[in-house]
Every structure is written in C-alpha cells, then in structure tokens.
C-alpha cells in the first residue's frame, strides 16, 4: 500500500529522483545513447526495437518534429549497423488531431525504413486508438508488405476478432507480423479483461491462433507462466525459430532474457530513449508500484 501511494505521487517528485529508477530502463536522451545500448545488446545476440519517447501530443507542429527525429534515428541506426528496427506510437504523430497527417508521417518513416530493408512496428495505445491504428497498418501493409507490423493487446476482448479480420492481409512473400502484449492502459470491464489469469488465458489463445495460421509472433512478456505457455505452444506446433521471437523491455528481467537466448530463441529488446523520459517513467511506476522499493534502495546504496 505504501509503494502504491508513493507511485501515485511520483509525477510531483524532482526529476533527478525519478532518474534513479529510469536510468536502468531507459537508454538515455540521445540517439548516441540508444546506439550504445543497442550495440551492447547486439553483442549479446539480442536484437532491438527503438522507440523515441513521447505520445498523445497536443499540436501538429510537434508531430512534424517527431517525424524528423525518427528520420534522423533511422539514418543514424542504419549507419551504425545496429541489428534493430523501429517502434512508433500513432498519437506521437497526431492521430487524435489529424488522422491524415498522422498516416503521412508514419508512411514516410516506413518508406525510409523500407529503403534500408528494415521494419516499423505500430505500437497499440488505448482503446480510442485501436480502429485507426489497424487502419493505418492495413494501408501500409498493402504498400510495404515486408516492412510493417502491429501490436495487439490480449486484455482487449476484441483482439481475437481483430486477428481473424486481418487474415486477408496474408501474402506469400511477407509474414503477417504481430507483437502480442497483455496491455497496460486502464480500460472499462465492458471491453477489457481484468483478471490476471483471464488475461493470460487469452494471451495464449491469441498466440495459438497466430501459430495455427502461420503468422509471425513477437511474444512480448516477462511473465513466467506466459513464457512457459508460449514455449509449450512452440513445441506443440513445431514453430520454426524464424517464425517467432520473444520481446522484453530494456532493463527488465535480464535473467529470463538470458535464459531464452541461451536456449536458442530469438530475442528482441524494446529500447526507449529521448527527452520525454519523465512521463514514461512515472507511468511505468504507476503500473508497477512494487518498483518503488528499487528507487528507495538506489537512493540508500548509491555507487
């Protein structure tokens, strides 16, 4: 209870205090910081997906700046030879302000990545964004079949239906590629599962559907029962290693990550960075109040 109370108050804490937590989970503020972390992970036989922090912008000029920042990121990452791709949040490009502008920005980024033979993943945000995000994915999948993917959230009751509805996008030369996550946004019970075991059951149900239908699965979880369940499904359906990967957040459960890599599974780490780290960090802390104890420990045991 104490940890929860502290986590709710964290947005009002000094940024230097929050950074004691954030520095373990965020690569830094600059592209070079992201490159350094990505290169280190690559040396451990781990791929990355890079995310510039920021979402739910208030004005379109910020969307254009975010587009330019991502274009600069693609140039730098490709020049550095990083084994990684890119994650983007549609609200960062004005989804809730001007859908046309948002699509044009994400299309430009996808075209840029595609010119390097690389890949962009559209992150899924709260329920108000789902239909429009799927629409953007549908349109880009037809133009860039090998270079675009989408995130789906198992706690939303609609997800299985969304999977079924997108099977028409399958083609011979490119996988239909989804990252499957539990979901982090607070949604009403009418549209989202709330119980831990129920969410996990639907995660594995969605994943099994993906394997049955030959879809590429990016299995994004740190949850031990879900990892074990995924491994059992991989064995059951004899899924080739090139048809799935595990994904984890930078700085989270490195031991589990190492065990999967050592067992020969493909692993990709989500590497967030950028000047908007404060909002990302406080949101993460609200989602997981138990992390507060690590902040308190870091303050007591400074290096």
CB-CB neighbours of 184 under 10 Å: 16
Please give the Cα distance from 301 to 303 (Å, whole number). Answer: 6
Among 67, 121, 162, 179, which one carries the catalytic annotation? Answer: 179
Annotated domain spans of the chain: 27-273
pLDDT more than 90, % of the chain: 78
The pLDDT, as a whole number, for residue 172 is 83
Q: Which residue has the higher pLDDT, 8 or 121?
A: 121
Indicate yes or no: pTM above 0.75. yes
- Nearest CA among 175, 166, 172, 170 for reference residue 133: 166
For residues 193-219, give the mean pLDDT: 98
Please state, rounded to an integer, the average pLDDT across all residues of the chain: 90
Per-residue pLDDT band at 302 (split at 50, 70, 90): very low
Per-residue pLDDT band at 53 (split at 50, 70, 90): very high
* CATH topology for the 27-273 domain: TIM Barrel (3.20.20)
The pLDDT, as a whole number, for residue 22 is 72
pLDDT surpassing 60 at residue 289: no
pLDDT more than 70, % of the chain: 85
pLDDT surpassing 80 at residue 295: no
State yes or no: is 98 an active-site residue: no
On whether the CB atoms of residues 52 and 38 are closer than 8 A, the answer is: no
The pLDDT, as a whole number, for residue 285 is 62
State yes or no: is 69 an active-site residue: no
The pLDDT, as a whole number, for residue 298 is 46
Among 123, 162, 268, 284, which one carries the catalytic annotation? Answer: 123
Per-residue pLDDT band at 303 (split at 50, 70, 90): very low
Please give the Cα distance from 268 to 94 (Å, whole number). Answer: 27
Residue-wise pLDDT for 60-115, tens only, equals 999 999 999 999 999 999 999 999 999 999 999 999 999 999 999 999 999 999 99
Please give the Cα distance from 51 to 220 (Å, whole number). Answer: 15
pLDDT surpassing 90 at residue 12: no
């Amino acid at each position: 209870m104490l940890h929860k109370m502290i986590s709710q108050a964290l947005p009002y804490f000094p940024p230097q205090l929050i950074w004691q937590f954030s520095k373990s989970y965020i690569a830094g503020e600059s592209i070079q910081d992201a490159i350094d972390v990505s290169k280190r992970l690559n040396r451990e036989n781990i791929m990355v997906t890079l995310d510039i922090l920021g979402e739910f912008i208030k004005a379109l000029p910020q969307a254009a700046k975010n587009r330019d920042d991502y274009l600069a990121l693609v140039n730098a990452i490709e020049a550095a030879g990083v084994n990684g791709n890119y994650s983007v949040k549609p609200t960062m490009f004005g989804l809730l302000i001007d859908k046309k502008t948002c699509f044009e920005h994400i299309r430009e980024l996808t075209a840029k990545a595609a010119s390097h033979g690389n890949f962009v993943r559209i992150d899924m945000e709260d329920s108000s964004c789902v239909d429009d995000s799927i629409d953007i994915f549908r349109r880009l999948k037809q133009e860039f079949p090998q270079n675009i993917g989408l995130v789906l959230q198992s706690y939303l009751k609609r997800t299985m239906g969304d999977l079924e509805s997108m099977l028409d996008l399958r083609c011979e030369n490119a996988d239909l590629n989804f990252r499957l996550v539990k979901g982090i946004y607070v949604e009403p019970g009418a549209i989202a599962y709330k119980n831990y075991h129920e969410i996990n059951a639907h995660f594995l149900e969605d994943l099994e559907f993906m394997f049955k239908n030959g879809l590429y699965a990016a299995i994004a979880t740190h949850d031990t029962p879900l990892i074990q369940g995924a491994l059992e499904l991989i064995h059951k359906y004899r899924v080739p290693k090139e048809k799935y990967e595990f994904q984890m957040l930078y700085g989270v459960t490195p031991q589990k990550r190492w065990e999967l890599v050592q067992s020969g599974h493909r692993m990709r780490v989500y590497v967030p960075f950028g000047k908007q780290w404060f909002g990302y960090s406080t949101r993460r802390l609200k989602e997981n109040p138990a992390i507060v104890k690590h902040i308190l420990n870091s303050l007591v045991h400074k290096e």
